[in-house]
Amino acid sequence: MKLTFLGTGTSFGVPQVGCACAVCASTDPRDKRGRVGALVESKGLRILIDTPPELRLQLIEARVSSVDAVLYTHDHADHTHGIDDIRAFSVRRDGALPIYGPRETLDTLARRFPYIFDAELKPLPGTSKPEGFATALEPDVPVRVGHLDVTPVEVPHGGVRVFGYRIGKLAYVTDAKRLPDEVVARLAGVEVLVLNALFRTAHPTHLSIGEAVDAARRVGAARTYFTHLTHQTSHAELSASLPAGIEPAYDGLTVEIDD
């Protein structure tokens, strides 16, 4: 299995508009962070996690020509508003692209983008539109996506429910404020953990960097990668400060994981 980080930044992205700080002005390509999203590949199957606003550019950079399904974590704009770019995939398919996520996220997307989910809204002759078929998931109830079992786990994010996903020996969790004990138990035995890590100081809806280190130790994965990073920490600085086995991810990073 292969994981590709398409984007590793917060809702502002890095560089942040109007900011001239050292990280935003950095020439290190690892400090250029698009909004957060990822791609999981296994034996020809490709699963997209979230559709961030830069999705088209991220897919081109990663040379992704097809996607078989989309998993949504939650309905915040930095995770969803590139959804129109699934048209590049749905027009090549015999039917709509399967889309999974929390029920309230899928309901919100259907209201915001009815042309994608309403099969009765047909494109005019000679035109096309993105097409998605939504399936609501429940926490801890696995779903079969191609040949992979995908298990959603619920994590708190302020007043919003967020789904992380366990796919074999990979766990992908973003926008969590904490990892409840039952989630830590569900993730036991993963080889690779992806976890959000925002500021060095506490935040009301996200794990801080220190909290994320503590959460990673509780899970005990051999390799942990931090994502949803801000312009307050450069890649080099953050990497140097983290314990062994924990690294900051960066846009375009690929990680191989045993199936």
What proportion of the chain, given as a percentage, has pLDDT over 90?
A: 93
Averaged pLDDT for residues 147-157: 97
Global pTM reads: 0.96
Q: Which helix (H) or strand (E) holds 171?
A: strand 170-173
pLDDT, position 94? 82
Segment 197-206, tens digit of pLDDT: 999 998 999 9
pLDDT of 254 > 90? The answer is: yes
Strand partners, 7: 37
**Would you mind telling me the total number of residues written for the chain in this entry?**
259
Count CA within 13 A, CB hemisphere, residue 164: 26
**C-alpha dist (Å) from residue 185 to 140, 144, 180, 194:** 11, 21, 9, 16
Q: What is the pLDDT of residue 259?
A: 78
**208-248 pLDDT per residue, tens:** 999 999 999 999 999 999 999 999 999 999 999 999 999 99
Q: For 212, phi and psi rounded to 5 degrees?
A: -70, -40
Please say if the pLDDT value at position 129 is more than 90: yes
- What tokens were used for 244? 């062994």
CA distance 75 to 110: 11
H helices of 62-113, where?
Answer: 77-80, 87-90, 103-112
Which residue, 197, 240, 195, is CA-closest to 219? 195
Taking the CA atoms of the chain, what radius of gyration do you get in angstroms?
18
Average pLDDT over residues 122-143: 95
Mean pLDDT, residues 117-136: 93
Query: What's the average model confidence in pLDDT over 87-95?
Result: 91
- pLDDT, tens digit, for every residue of 15-55? 999 999 999 999 999 999 999 999 999 999 999 999 999 99
In the predicted model, what is the mean pLDDT of residues 191-199?
Answer: 97
Instruction: Report in angstroms the alpha-carbon separations of 149 from 168, 170, 188, 246.
Output: 7, 11, 16, 26
Domain 2-256 matching CATH 3.90.76.10: the answer reads no
